[in-house]
Every structure is written in C-alpha cells, then in structure tokens.
Amino acid sequence: MSDKVCVGAIAGAFGVRGEVRLKSFTATPEDIAGYGPLTTEDGARSFEVTLTRPVTGGLGARLSGVATREQAEALKGTTLWAARDALPSLPDDEFYHADLIGLEVYDPGGQLLGRVRAIYDHGAGDILEITGQQTLLLPFTREIVPTVDLSAGRIIADPPGSDE
C-alpha cells in the first residue's frame, strides 16, 4: 500500500483568475478540500485547496500558488494526491481502490485468475477488471468477491458460471 492516495484531478482552468475545475474521486466530492495539502503524484508540488462553487463536471477551486488562467491551464490533467493518514479509516467491507489494484485474484479452488488491473463505477456499483489468461469484468459484490485479504495481497472471486 502506498503512503498516498489519488483523490482527484485537475480538469482544466475555470474563469480568468486562476480557478481550476477539479474532478474529485472521493465518495463525497467536497471532501477533497479537507485532506490537507494535496500533492502532485511525484510530490514536486503541493497545493492548499479552497472550493469556490460547483461547476459542470466537477468543482471550482482555487489552488495555492495558482493565480492566472495560464497557470491553471498548465495543470490540466494533473492528479492530486492526499497522504493516506489524512484519509478516514474505512469499515471492514470497504476499500480504497488504490489498495485493490495489483492484487492477485484466485477462484475458490485456488486457481489464479489474474490481477486487478482497474476498477470502474458506471453508477450501478464497482466492477473489477481482472487481467490474466483472459480479461474478466466482475461485479465487486460480496456474492462474487467473498474475500479481500489486503495483508496477504489476494482476493478470492467466484465468477458467475464458474460452477459449470
């Protein structure tokens, strides 16, 4: 597990006074401003985030050190990272996506299915993309994924139709 978690990205400039359009990856989008200074992925830059207003496709925000539209536009596509210890602890049955990506996935019989490559949420719940000999897209439900063991670095999944 990394000591930081991606909590958002800068989608571009908003207005002419250095505001940015933020895309928040947090469960409650406005929480992105409450995790202390956010850094770029490489840690080279740090920003205090002040939310200004909701905007189409995200949140309007001011970032410390960004005063012009040109500076804001130059940050487009930059991901924003929070220190893991600044994030709330989760209940036993909830996980940060960053902790699941890369985990090995086995079927109930111990056969390796592959690794978690990505997690998607299209509105009806999370979907795990598992890559191995074939690519599987599995609903991230207790029925299909009964066991997530972060300390062992593995997931047990029972894909639909695997009983046949």
Ranges of CATH 2.40.30.60 domains, the chain:
4-86
Q: Please, are residues 84 and 3 in contact by the beta-carbon 8 Å criterion?
A: yes
Query: What integer pLDDT is reported at residue 82 of this predicted model?
Result: 94
Give residue 122's identity as a one-letter amino acid code: H
Domain 97-156 has CATH 2.30.30.240: yes
Amino acid identity of residue 144, one-letter, is: I
Secondary-structure breakdown of the chain: helix, strand, coil percentages, each rounded to the nearest 5? 10, 40, 45
Sign of torsion, CA 91 94 99 104? positive
In percent, how much of the chain has pLDDT > 90? 65
Q: What is the pLDDT of residue 91?
A: 80
State the pLDDT at residue 8.
93
What is the reported pLDDT for 162? 63
Q: Record the pTM.
A: 0.73
What tokens does 61 get?
């925000």
Helices marked H in 9-146: 69-74, 97-100
Give the domain 4-86 fold. Answer: Elongation Factor Tu (Ef-tu); domain 3 (2.40.30)
Q: 95-125 pLDDT, tens per residue?
A: 888 889 899 999 999 999 999 999 988 777 8
Residue intervals of the chain classified under CATH 2.30.30.240 are 97-156
H helix and E strand count, the chain: 2, 13
pLDDT the model gives residue 1: 52
